[in-house]
Each structure stands twice: as structure tokens, then as C-alpha cells.
Amino acid sequence: MEGELDALIHPEVIQPILDKDQRVTRLFPNYRDLEIDYYKHTGIFPIMHAAVIKQEIVDKYPWVPINLMQAFEESKKAAYKRMENPRIVPLAWFRHFQEEQEEILGSDPWVYGLGEINKKALETLMQYSQEQGLLGRKMSLGELFINTEAHS
């Protein structure tokens, strides 16, 4: 290895791509089509983040996970509401892309909690992690997460 990367998974477009550096290209030039195809075949929209709360906090303040989830939901609703104003995002075809996304992923691709959509994604992640030796044993979602939907 000469300190060079063969591939990188990153949520943002990296600077060499923005700079049109010929040494750096997308691994999958048709990444969008592949992501849509993956979603249509699996029903999984990959989870981007997870909130972690120490068990001692949950034990002492059992309302924290529910209140945190409610705060995230309110924040997301406010963000969606803000997006109703087409002048917020300076993209000429913003509405088109917004409508297309909704047609493919539904009205809320960023679903929170342990509903059916996220359960499927998490169970698949754990299956892959176990198959690849990253997870020593199969774990239930109840071992890892608090079901805030059951408490709300």
C-alpha cells in the first residue's frame, strides 16, 4: 500500500470529485440507478444514523428515549414543512426531484423507530454483520434498542 485508497464510502461528494480530478471517479457511475434498484428489490433504505443513550441514563430517566424521539420527529416535521417553500433550496428542478423521491421512497424515507421498515433494515444489517464475522452471535433488536413506539 502506498497510502492510496482503492475505494471510499462517504455521505458527501468528496473534493477531488468536485474538482473533476481524473484520478478519482465514482466506483459506480450509475450509483443512483443502483440505489433505486436496491430499494425496489429489498424494500431497504439504508439507515444513516442511530442515537445511543447509556443504559444507566435510561434506567434513571426512562422518559429520555421517548422525549428524544419526539424531539427528532418534531424537528423532522419542521424540516419537511420548511421544504414546502421552493425558495429554500436553490435548485431549478427541486420539486421534480422531491416528487420523484416520494414516488420511489414514499412520503418519509427517514422513518424513525423500530417499525417494520427499520426492523427489516436492522435485521439485514445484523445478518450481514454475523456472516462477515463482525457480530459474534445473532442478537434480537430488543437487546439493542428500546422500542419507543411501544411507549409513545
Encode pLDDT of 51-79 as tens digits: 899 999 999 999 999 999 999 999 999 99
Give the distance, in angstroms, between the CA of residue 120 and the centroid of all CA atoms in the same chain. Answer: 13
- The answer as to whether 88 is a domain residue is yes
In a domain, 10, yes or no: no
Cα pseudo-dihedral 64, 65, 68, 69, rounded to 10? -150
Q: How confident is the model at residue 4 (pLDDT cuts 50, 70, 90)?
A: confident
Residue predicted with more confidence, 143 or 101? 101
pTM: 0.78
Whether 1 maps to a domain, the answer reads no
Please give the tally of structural domains in the chain. 1
Q: Is residue 7 part of a domain?
A: no
In a domain, residue 3? The reply is: no
**What is the rounded average pLDDT of the residues 35-60?**
92
* 4 in a structural domain: no
Q: Would you say residue 21 lies in a domain?
A: yes
Query: Which residue range is the domain that position 118 belongs to?
Result: 15-151
Whether residue 2 is contained in a domain is answered as no
